[in-house]
C-alpha cells in the first residue's frame, strides 16, 4: 500500500540546482540595486545560477516573462527539449504618485505576470514593491538576504522544489524509476 507523499512548506532546503531568470525594472535605480543585491545573495547562498534581464519599468516585466516562457520557440533548449529556466524572479518598484497611473501599473504588471507564470506552470517569485514612498521601498528592499529580493528568491526556489516533487510523483505513478525510463518514454511518444 502506498503511503501519502508530503511536499511540505517553508523555505528551500540547502542547495537548489536551478537556473533562474531575474527580470528587473530599474526605474528607481537605488531601490532596484538593493533588491538585486538581496536576490543575488540568496541565490548564491542556495547555489542556484541566474541570468538578469533589465527593463525600464514594471510594465515591461510581464512582457519579458512571456518572451522567456510563453512559447516553445523561446522557452525550450532546442537540443535538450528542457526549459531554459527553472523559475523567474521579478524585481521592481512602483511608487504611488498623484494620479491613477500607480493603480494601472501595479494591477497590470501583477495580473499579467501571474497570468503568464500560472499559464506556463513556471515557479515565480515576486518582488515588485508597491509603496507610497521611496523610503518605504528602501526599507523593504534591503541589500540583505532578508529583504524582499531574498524573499522572492526563497519563494521561487521553494516552488522549484515543489514542482520537482510533483514531477517525481508523476514519474512514480507511471512506473518510471529513473531518468533513462523517462527518456525512453519520450522517444516512444515521438
Three-state secondary structure call for residue 60: helix
Q: Sheet harboring 49-55: ordered strands across? A: 49-55, 19-25, 87-95, 124-131
Alpha carbons 130 and 107: distance in angstroms, whole number:
10
Cell numbers 531601490 correspond to what residue? 31
Burial of 67 (0-12, 13-18, 19+ CB in 10 A): middle
Query: How many beta carbons lie within 10 A of that of residue 145, not counting itself?
Result: 19
Catalytic site positions: 101
DSSP code at position 14 = S
Amino acid at each position: 500500500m502506498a503511503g501519502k507523499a508530503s511536499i511540505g512548506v517553508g523555505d528551500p532546503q540547502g542547495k537548489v540546482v536551478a537556473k533562474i531568470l531575474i527580470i528587473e525594472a530599474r526605474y528607481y535605480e537605488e531601490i532596484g540595486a538593493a533588491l538585486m543585491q538581496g536576490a543575488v545573495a540568496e541565490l548564491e547562498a542556495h547555489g542556484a545560477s541566474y541570468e538578469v534581464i533589465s527593463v525600464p519599468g514594471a510594465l515591461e516585466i510581464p512582457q519579458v516573462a512571456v518572451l522567456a516562457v510563453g512559447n516553445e520557440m523561446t522557452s525550450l533548449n532546442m537540443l535538450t527539449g528542457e526549459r531554459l529556466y527553472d523559475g523567474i524572479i521579478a524585481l521592481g518598484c512602483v511608487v504611488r504618485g498623484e494620479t491613477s497611473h500607480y493603480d494601472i501599473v501595479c494591477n497590470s504588471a501583477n495580473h499579467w505576470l501571474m497570468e503568464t507564470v500560472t499559464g506556463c506552470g513556471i515557479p515565480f517569485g515576486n518582488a515588485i514593491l508597491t509603496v507610497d514612498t521611496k523610503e518605504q521601498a528602501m526599507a523593504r528592499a534591503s541589500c540583505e538576504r532578508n529583504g524582499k529580493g531574498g524573499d522572492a528568491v526563497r519563494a521561487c526556489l521553494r516552488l522549484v522544489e515543489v514542482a520537482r516533487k510533483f514531477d517525481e510523483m508523476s514519474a512514480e505513478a507511471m512506473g518510471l524509476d529513473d531518468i533513462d525510463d523517462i527518456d525512453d518514454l519520450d522517444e516512444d511518444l515521438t
